[in-house]
Structure 1
Amino acid sequence: MNSPKSPCPFGEQCYRKNPEHFVRYDHCKRKTLDDRNVLSKKISTDKKTKSPLITNYFQRTKPANINPSTNDKVVDDHQVNPYPSTSSSNQESLDQDSLKNLHEKLFLTACPDEIFLFWKFCQKISRQHPEDAFIEALGLKLVGPFDLLNNKLNESHVDGNILIHWRYLYDTPEFQTFAIIDPNHHHNQLRFESITCEYHLGYFRDDPSDREPLVVSNDSKKSCIINGEGDNIFTTFYSLLTDKRFKSLTKNHHKKNLRQKLETFASKNQINLIDTNRLLKQRQQQIQAPTLHQFGLIVPITNDNVGYRPLPINDTNLKLLFKRIIQLDNDEQRRKCVSMKELQNIITLIQYANDEKDFGMGLEFGLDLFESGHQFFHRSSEHLLRQAYEFLDRKNFSQILHQHLDNDNRHRRQWPNLSAI
């Protein structure tokens, strides 16, 4: 039987002593994606990394010498996934289920159903290299979850390092990159301020179990701001094909032809390409706080308005507070400055908020500390976010965050531009 009691956010680990609390709330163990995933060994990474891009997983792990006679699986950057060409619909369904399960094991997030259909479209454009279907038109290469469909990832990659595969400096745990501007494409003459920009597209989930995430973008060379791009991957790429940012400097009709092919494919598969931002607009109305990345956060709010309380400081003053701390010469000065005492007072208020189940306050401030991009705030950010993700039943985000900050602490040697905050 299901318990008539409301579930306690702390579950079996509830620290409360009041008998009335245990009468009103159920304390059964909650199940999360994390219960099925155990991360083990860590793979060392290139200590010379200085880019805000944390890692390209395959460049860091691909062996220098390959012996075909060994049983080890070798990652081939141009290997094509055999799944889409299978003739049996039952086999296709089994393959999708297997890939979904592998996605959850590797990335600790639910796999969007739409990537399988989108991959089929990409194969129609480029059978040998479907990940490059949009290279000529947009300069974008498919990565991340599409590496599963491209047969670049398998069970052997279930380790901590895969969690920072194509993860950039300001990518929060909610952000999962699936497309990047390919810097190696020589014909990539696009109207960006710099050809070395770090514009990338990704899925944004408020909860790791969300199977219908929204599509967002960020350019970590410019700022921590996350921009909404579309309700799904089809509407996003359809819009980008007419986006002035991607207007080619050379005269060709490739984008127009690709857009027409996408329209035809969408029509055959009953995909709506017209209303591209309906879900984005709905989410905008639901957010409790914009956060420094400006895409906002959403947490459950009870009928008695419990779940979130605002920070005692607005975003403008918070940015100034961060900058006053960051611009000091060293960490010792930062720890002793007056601005740091203001920050500690906010953290104290967050602990009170957690006691009263307003978990959104800690989530907001933890994300703001993360988006400062400075290593001095990493410890406080991880502490607050791990608490918030635990209370909100989003525990898998904690593991992604830990790998991100751990790698950043060990390998990045330059601070972000203060104007990026």
Structure 2
Amino acid sequence: MMSSDIKDAEFQAYKDDSRIPCQYGAECYQKNPQHHNKYKHPPKRKMMVEKKTEKIITGEKRKQPIKDDKKAGSESPQRKLQKTLETSEKNLHSLSPSPERNDVIIHNNEDDNENLKEKTEASDKKILNRHNSYNSVENDATENTSMSDVNVKKIIADLFLVEMPEDFFQFYEFCKSISKDNPLLACKSIRLKLVGPYDILDGKIKILSENDKERYLTHWRYYYDPPEFQIYTTQKLNSQTIVKCDNKEGLHFGYWRDDTVEKPVFIAKNEANVNGIFEPVAENIFGAVDAYLYNKVKSANPFEKISITRLHSQLKNFAKQHNITLEKNTADMRARERLVVARTFHKAGIVVPYDKKTQLGYRDLAATDNDLQKILKQIEEAGTPEDRKISIAKLDEIVRLATIAADECDFGTCLELGHDLFSNGGFHVQTRALQMLSIAYTHLKRPQLLKILEAHLKNRKKDCELSVI
């Protein structure tokens, strides 16, 4: 009876505990004290954790490269994490299968896809219903917004899984003031055209069925564009015939967001036919075009300078009238830069929740950038399948250790490796890129980014004609 009373008291204490219940319950195998401080666990599991706390590695040791625990059980950390995710009701996406086959993208089972769909749709509804926190328009002005404007914003959020900031719509109005009949080509004199969601504003994309939505996630999505980058602004045009891209460079601009439910942190540009590097340009599209015009006039001939100068003057006047900043490095951009935990191959950097005191949230990869690039180059340039397997084995060890990091709540490590593999663009590592980013986006609760990634990898191509209309 005494043992039963103690057990009842323990369960009553668990029931009265105000902390959030751990989603894994008694099956949780987390050792990190931060996890146990935040979430409550059933008594049996709690006792097990207390016995093992002496084995937890904290403090300065977390800065060291990840080392394999030779005394660990026979079941690998990847398998433990995969089994836990598969049984979790909150799982958004199962881990990609073990990368034995690296020439194809291995898709998840139907249950996982359905689970992800439900999570994403719920999050999408939240986006549509919440107030646009970064809209500069006052509440009374919002109430007077026409129904057609509201519908357009909802269609954009539904098709592209993100809300557009105010400068997106303001730039369209600016282009209409220049060319009322064809605002998408208002800046054709400087070889710029509006693409992506601007096609909705221009009436080129209507309300579609559910089956059509996935392909619009790749509308004007270039080969190296990660899910965080949305091509909603402008794209360079051929100077003679008005086409959709410049075949020489593939220059395009877009919003960069660390999370789809947050405000874009900056406008970035990329030259898709050159490399996978993304350069922050300005906080909004007006600042980005202002910088583009400033550089454009330097190389223009006397006749081109006249039209460029006139357009530049119109842009500045519109921005001044609507109190739109043209600053290239704003306080918000600098604040975001301080939160970057890793630069990654694309150079734009990644941001994840990170506790500097406990160093929880991110740890360095088990390889330097140079070493990882050498391994990836060896994989792509291998002369025989046997040679490729040797290099893939080296990469798989880095993948395995990144998975261990995620198992200990350092989700930023998988995010960094996933971005590096995606930005590398190698055909033979796409499955591993999906595997790493699936883990990261799932735990960071960024399901929209995962959905964009999956759609892109199904139809990823090096091209400049990327409209799906």
* Normalised TM-score (structure 1): 0.75
SS across alignment from 1:209? coil
- Out of 458, 462, 467, the residue aligned to residue 406 of structure 1 is 458
Q: Are the counterparts in 2 of residues 34 and 395 from structure 1 also a CA contact under 8 Å?
A: no
Q: How far off its partner does 1:237 sit?
A: 1.1
- Out of 229, 236, 244, the residue aligned to residue 181 of structure 1 is 236
CA RMSD of aligned residues (A): 3.3
Distance verdict in 2 for CA 1:277–1:316, change over 3 Å: farther
Matched, 1:119 2:172: yes
Q: Which residue matches 2:260?
A: 208
**For residues 395 and 353 of structure 2, what CA distance do their matches in structure 1 show?**
26
Amino acid at match of 1:133: A
Task: Summarize deviations over 1:37-59 as a string: whole Å, max 9, x none.
Answer: 69xxxxxxxxxxxxxxxxxxxxx
Q: Which residue matches 2:382?
A: 328
Q: Are the counterparts in 2 of residues 112 and 213 from structure 1 also a CA contact under 8 Å?
A: no
Matched, 1:159 2:159: no
SS across alignment from 2:235? strand
Distance verdict in 2 for CA 1:89–1:131, change over 3 Å: same
Matched, 1:226 2:240: no
Q: How does 1:183-332 map to 2 (within 5 A)?
A: 183=238, 185-186=240-241, 196-244=248-296, 247-249=299-301, 251-252=303-304, 253-274=306-327, 276-302=329-355, 303-329=357-383, 332=385
Distance verdict in 2 for CA 1:412–1:132, change over 3 Å: closer
Q: Which residue matches 1:107?
A: 160
Q: How far off its partner does 1:90 sit?
A: 5.6
Distance verdict in 2 for CA 1:385–1:123, change over 3 Å: same
**For residues 246 and 143 of structure 1, what CA distance do their matches in structure 2 show?**
26
Q: How far off its partner does 1:33 sit?
A: 5.0
SS across alignment from 2:253? strand
SS across alignment from 1:155? coil
**For residues 438 and 392 of structure 2, what CA distance do their matches in structure 1 show?**
21
Distance verdict in 2 for CA 1:383–1:150, change over 3 Å: same
Matched, 1:150 2:202: yes
Distance verdict in 2 for CA 1:202–1:242, change over 3 Å: same
Question: Unpaired runs of 5+ in structure 1?
Answer: 39-87, 414-421
Count of aligned pairs: 351
Q: How far off its partner does 1:388 sit?
A: 0.5
**For residues 399 and 420 of structure 2, what CA distance do their matches in structure 1 show?**
12
- Out of 110, 117, 128, the residue aligned to residue 181 of structure 2 is 128
Matched, 1:375 2:427: yes
**For residues 13 and 244 of structure 1, what CA distance do their matches in structure 2 show?**
60
Amino acid at match of 2:226: T
Matched, 1:359 2:411: yes
**For residues 159 and 322 of structure 2, what CA distance do their matches in structure 1 show?**
29
Q: Which residue matches 2:19?
A: 5
Q: Which residue matches 1:391?
A: 443
SS across alignment from 1:218? strand
Q: Are the counterparts in 2 of residues 369 and 377 from structure 1 also a CA contact under 8 Å?
A: yes
Question: Unpaired runs of 5+ in structure 2?
Answer: 1-16, 42-88, 93-117, 126-140, 464-469
Task: Summarize deviations over 1:183-202 as a string: whole Å, max 9, x none.
Answer: 374389xxx9x863201101
Q: How far off its partner does 1:284 sit?
A: 2.4
Q: Which residue matches 1:16?
A: 28
Q: Are the counterparts in 1 of residues 297 and 308 from structure 2 also a CA contact under 8 Å?
A: no
Q: Are the counterparts in 2 of residues 32 and 393 from structure 1 also a CA contact under 8 Å?
A: no
Q: Are the counterparts in 2 of residues 33 and 209 from structure 1 also a CA contact under 8 Å?
A: no
SS across alignment from 2:254? strand
Q: How far off its partner does 1:177 sit?
A: 1.1
SS across alignment from 1:203? strand
Distance verdict in 2 for CA 1:263–1:6, change over 3 Å: farther
Task: Summarize deviations over 1:28-76 as a string: whole Å, max 9, x none.
Answer: 96996542569xxxxxxxxxxxxxxxxxxxxxxxxxxxxxxxxxxxxxx
Distance verdict in 2 for CA 1:355–1:195, change over 3 Å: closer
**For residues 36 and 343 of structure 1, what CA distance do their matches in structure 2 show?**
34
Q: How far off its partner does 1:278 sit?
A: 4.0
Q: How far off its partner does 1:273 sit?
A: 2.3
**For residues 296 and 409 of structure 2, what CA distance do their matches in structure 1 show?**
45
**For residues 26 and 261 of structure 1, what CA distance do their matches in structure 2 show?**
59
Q: How far off its partner does 1:129 sit?
A: 0.9
Q: Which residue matches 1:92?
A: 145
Q: Are the counterparts in 1 of residues 340 and 349 from structure 2 also a CA contact under 8 Å?
A: yes
Distance verdict in 2 for CA 1:227–1:95, change over 3 Å: same
Amino acid at match of 1:181: K
SS across alignment from 2:459? helix
SS across alignment from 2:221? coil
Distance verdict in 2 for CA 1:18–1:126, change over 3 Å: closer
Amino acid at match of 2:378: R
Task: Summarize deviations over 1:364-395 as a string: whole Å, max 9, x none.
Answer: 00111111111110111101101100100111
**For residues 103 and 342 of structure 1, what CA distance do their matches in structure 2 show?**
42
Distance verdict in 2 for CA 1:349–1:89, change over 3 Å: closer
* Normalised TM-score (structure 2): 0.67
SS across alignment from 1:257? helix
Distance verdict in 2 for CA 1:18–1:278, change over 3 Å: closer
**For residues 254 and 315 of structure 1, what CA distance do their matches in structure 2 show?**
44
